[in-house]
Structure 1
Amino acid sequence: MIKPSRRSKYKNIKVVDGDQKFDSAAEHRRYKWLALLEKSGHIQNLTRQVTFVLAPKVLIHGIAKRSLIYRADFGYLDVATGKQVVEDVKGTLTAVYKMKRHLMKSIYGIDILETK
């Protein structure tokens, strides 16, 4: 059963589908589509919430600061091209996201596929 919850700052509605939680209805729809693509053999190794470390944890003026991370909505292998794909469902491109997108390209050489 799909259960919507309250709206967030960007007006997305979180969705719970069985034991899986999604940050938005759009992310849930995209996951369902990608799952069908995986089942049909077009993509492989579909994973959710793929984490990349953009900067390690540090001490700033004696205060421990967490690692700077980027968590992509999906990662998978495109069978046709043989390329690994990192994908994010975006309604709003925030300044923080744009910075992390830049770091993903400069550190890992990865262009994030942005879907709506």
Structure 2
Amino acid sequence: MTVRINGNAGNRAAAASKRGRIGEGGSAVEKSLKRPILKGRKYRNKKVTIDGITFDSKRESERYQELKALASRNLIEDLRHQVPFELAPGVRFSDEKRAKPALRYVADFAYQLDGRLVVEDVKSAITAKAAAYRIKRHLMLAVHGIEVQEVR
């Protein structure tokens, strides 16, 4: 049985060996071959502050400025940021000491458009697929009758 090694992988191993990282001291091998630990935010978004409000991402702050412009032209009313909605009340399980808090969904923006409530959430393609978000979006429609608008 033959085993093929990617040419680049072989070069990396040879270079690591020359630098003394492979073959001497097991812990050095483990450290050099492991992927680096990513530090920072999970989806690599950057917090932005505008008008004294801190937004979770640059895209969310841009959407705020768009909505603010619409509100200044009286096209939308009652613009709010980080609006909480209760999806299920708190409960206390018989086998636990403490009660579990209510399940909530916090929308990025909510406003009135032509007399109806519009709820928006700024999502990237990756975050829109998150299971917790999909469940909460489903519950928003089932419990409150509000369809969350995804803004990308």
Bin of the TM-score, shorter chain as denominator length: 0.7 to 0.9
The 1:89–1:55 alpha-carbon spacing in structure 2 relative to 1, beyond 3 Å, is same
Structure 2 portions without partners, runs of 5+: 1-38
TM-score (ref. length: structure 2): 0.68
Kept after mapping to 2: 8 A contact 1:7/1:13: no
Match of 2:102 among 67, 81, 92: 67
Q: Following the alignment from structure 2 to structure 1, what is the Cα–Cα distance between the partners of residues 131 and 51?
A: 33
Q: Per chain length, whose mean CA-contact separation is higher, i.e. which structure has more relative contact order (CA < 8 Å, sep 6+)?
A: 1
Which structure dedicates a bigger proportion of its chain to strand? 1
| Deviation (angstroms), 1:18 | 4.2
Structure 1 portions without partners, runs of 5+: 1-5
Secondary structure of the residue that 2:47 maps to in structure 1? strand
TM-score (ref. length: structure 1): 0.88
Aligned to 1:19: 52
Tell me the number of residue pairs that the alignment of Structure 1 and Structure 2 aligns. Answer: 109
Match of 2:69 among 16, 31, 36: 36
Secondary structure of the residue that 1:12 maps to in structure 2? coil
Q: Which has the larger radius of gyration?
A: 2
Match of 1:77 among 109, 112, 128: 112
Q: Following the alignment from structure 2 to structure 1, what is the Cα–Cα distance between the partners of residues 48 and 41?
A: 12
Q: Following the alignment from structure 2 to structure 1, what is the Cα–Cα distance between the partners of residues 101 and 69?
A: 36
1:32-88 deviations in Å (ceiling 9; x for gaps): 000000001110000011110011111122332111100000000113xx3210110
Structure 1's consecutive aligned runs of 4 or more residues displaced over 4 angstroms after TM superposition are: none
Stretch deviating more after TM superposition (56-65 or 24-33) = 56-65
| Deviation (angstroms), 1:17 | 2.2
**CA RMSD after TM alignment:** 1.4
